[in-house]
């Protein structure tokens, strides 16, 4: 008889990691700098300090392999929700016909955070550093609302004002998320909005504009520059955000060891900007780069409607649509690209984290993509077996997990599969309703759309010889 009582592996609050893992010094090719959009040269520290909390900027460029987590911050994590549990998906294994010791599926359950996703891991840290700097407000963008909810929660902990520009398509689709943010005392605006010059420009062209993360970022950055007591807060893409998320992978390692497993064979996560995926995989990617586990397979999963890694180019691009923020070298579909309004709003960003891009470009990790109908179908299968309804973003990872487990079964392989359950889907019921009623559509990104965005005259041309 299956022992379901051993399907959950917990850690004690004292086991919250004491440091973050910085993979930048171990990357196979050097990390490229953020570039000033005004002159095409590496952004000076003064520019970064005017945008982000100071300590976050220092962490962004750090060459230390580990960075200590302040004791006060660790205590806040432990009091709130960390460590999060690791589950073995025994009922899903049974559903797939892989039950036994040959194919094991584990998921790191980040949905147990107060806001239901992994986002507070960096939101609390950024709010903590903002408070130390004497700041009065943090402003940000959000797609599906997971990040906006996380930052609203973090700011509320430290009595800092929070303003969120939420992509209009998600603002309409996910009213529960904006209600949650407002419960944490945040101001939430549909983006594009009439509160910024950037937003007004896009609304003049299209009053019904669905928005994009690139546009919302432009609005948030513009807002943040209006006072020296305000800073911009980012929930993905940049180095310091991925750094803060490495508590996920570190805890998962300890938990797997407690289950008698030295290393997983496959690590999987969904990818939008790269934060939850990187948070789980970076400790394992370091092992792969250092030779401690060179055989591990690491897979990032994207939507076919916005596959920046699978179909984009690795090149320099603006992080936002209005070209107000720094330029980064990353996998991108072009900053002018407006993705289809899929339900996985957190995966609709045109670019990918530079760290993830470098790892993919050097074949340390790989990427794949799925349609949203097959993704939501996988999410329902997971809910029926494991009891938790996943966010549409998370369901992308689950779809790939199912594919990998079936593939291993067909090939008579023994595999340990680990994935990040990055968030629950209880604010995303409309996606599941549309699937059940047959109203959910798939969007395949046309090659012509990518080509048009990447060939735009506005795409930056950076001389790398100056670095």
Q: In this structure, are residues 343 and 431 in contact, taking their beta carbons and an 8 Å threshold? A: yes
Classify residue 351: in a domain, yes or no: yes
C-alpha–C-alpha distance, residues 344 and 151, integer Å: 19
Classify residue 413: in a domain, yes or no: yes
Classify residue 111: in a domain, yes or no: yes
403's CB contacts (< 8 A; 6+ apart) are none
Provide the pLDDT for residue 133: 95
Q: In this structure, are residues 405 and 98 in contact, taking their beta carbons and an 8 Å threshold? A: yes
Q: How far is CA 144 from CA 119, 208, 210, 373, 397, in A?
A: 12, 18, 13, 17, 16
Report which of 428, 306, 309 is spatially closest to residue 368, judged by C-alpha positions: 309
Q: Which domain CATH number covers 255?
A: 3.40.50.1100
Q: In this structure, are residues 252 and 258 in contact, taking their beta carbons and an 8 Å threshold? A: no
Classify residue 392: in a domain, yes or no: yes
How many domains are contained in the chain?
1
List the beta bridge partners of residue 107.
87, 419
Classify residue 450: in a domain, yes or no: no
Classify residue 148: in a domain, yes or no: no
pTM assigned to the model: 0.94
In which domain, by residue range, is 93 found?
A: 9-15+69-116+240-438
248's CB contacts (< 8 A; 6+ apart) are 84, 108, 110, 118, 121, 276, 279, 280, 420
Provide the pLDDT for residue 344: 59
Max CA distance (Å), the chain:
66
Q: In this structure, are residues 292 and 263 in contact, taking their beta carbons and an 8 Å threshold? A: no
Residue-level pLDDT, tens digit, the chain, 467 residues: 355 556 899 999 999 999 999 999 999 999 998 898 888 888 888 888 988 999 999 999 999 999 999 999 999 999 999 999 999 999 999 999 998 889 999 999 999 999 999 999 999 999 999 999 999 999 999 987 899 999 999 999 999 999 999 999 889 888 899 999 999 999 999 999 999 999 999 999 999 998 988 899 899 999 998 999 999 999 999 999 999 999 999 999 999 999 999 999 999 999 999 999 999 999 999 999 999 888 999 999 999 988 999 999 999 999 888 887 889 999 999 998 877 766 655 677 889 999 999 999 999 999 999 999 999 999 999 999 999 999 999 999 999 999 999 999 999 999 999 999 999 999 989 889 999 999 998 888 778 888 888 888 788 888 887 77
283's CB contacts (< 8 A; 6+ apart) are 21, 246, 249, 250, 252, 253
Report which of 309, 311, 335, 348 is spatially closest to residue 459, judged by C-alpha positions: 335
Classify residue 430: in a domain, yes or no: yes
405's CB contacts (< 8 A; 6+ apart) are 93, 96, 98, 103, 105, 415, 417
Classify residue 93: in a domain, yes or no: yes
């Amino acid at each position: 008889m299956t022992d379901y009582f051993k399907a959950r592996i917990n850690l004690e609050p004292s086991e919250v990691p004491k440091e973050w893992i910085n993979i930048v010094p171990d990357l196979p090719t050097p990390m490229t700098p953020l570039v000033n959009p005004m002159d095409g040269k590496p952004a000076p520290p003064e520019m970064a300090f005017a945008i982000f909390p100071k300590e976050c900027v220092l962490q962004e460029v750090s060459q230390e392999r580990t960075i200590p987590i302040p004791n006060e911050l660790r205590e806040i994590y432990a009091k709130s929700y960390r460590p999060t549990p690791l589950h073995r998906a025994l009922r899903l294994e049974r559903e797939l016909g892989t039950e036994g010791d040959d194919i094991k599926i584990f998921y790191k359950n980040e949905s147990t955070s107060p806001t239901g996703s992994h986002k507070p891991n960096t939101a609390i840290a950024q709010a903590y550093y903002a408070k130390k700097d004497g700041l009065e407000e943090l402003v940000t963008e959000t797609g599906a609302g997971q990040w906006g909810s996380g930052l609203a929660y973090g700011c509320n902990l430290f009595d800092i004002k929070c303003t969120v520009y939420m992509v209009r398509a998600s603002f309409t689709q996910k009213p529960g998320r904006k209600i949650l943010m407002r419960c944490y005392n945040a101001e939430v605006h549909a983006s594009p909005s009439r509160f910024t010059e950037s937003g007004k420009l896009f609304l003049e062209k299209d009053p019904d504009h669905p928005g994009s993360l690139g546009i919302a970022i432009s609005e948030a950055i513009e807002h943040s520059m209006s006072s020296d007591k305000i800073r911009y807060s980012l929930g993905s893409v940049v180095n310091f955000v991925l750094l803060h998320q490495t508590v996920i992978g570190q805890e998962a390692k300890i938990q797997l060891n407690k289950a008698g497993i030295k290393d997983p064979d496959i690590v999987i996560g969904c990818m939008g900007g790269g934060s939850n995926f990187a948070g789980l995989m970076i400790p394992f990617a370091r092992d792969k780069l250092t030779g401690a586990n060179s055989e591990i397979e690491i897979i990032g999963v994207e939507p076919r409607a916005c596959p920046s890694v699978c179909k984009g180019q690795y090149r320099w691009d603006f992080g936002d649509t209005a070209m107000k923020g720094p330029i980064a070298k990353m996998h991108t579909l072009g900053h002018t690209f407006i993705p289809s309004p899929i339900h996985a709003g957190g995966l609709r960003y045109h670019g990918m984290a530079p760290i993830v891009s470098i790892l993919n470009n050097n074949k340390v990790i790989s990427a794949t993509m799925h349609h949203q109908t097959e993704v939501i179908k996988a999410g329902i299968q997971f809910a029926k077996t494991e009891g938790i309804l996943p966010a549409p973003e998370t369901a992308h990872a689950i779809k790939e997990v199912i594919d990998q487990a079936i593939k291993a079964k067909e090939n008579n392989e023994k595999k340990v599969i680990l994935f990040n359950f990055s968030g629950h889907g209880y604010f995303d019921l409309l996606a599941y309703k549309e699937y059940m009623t047959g109203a959910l559509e798939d969007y395949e990104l046309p090659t012509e759309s990518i080509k048009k965005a990447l060939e735009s005259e506005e795409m930056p041309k950076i001389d790398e010889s100056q670095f």
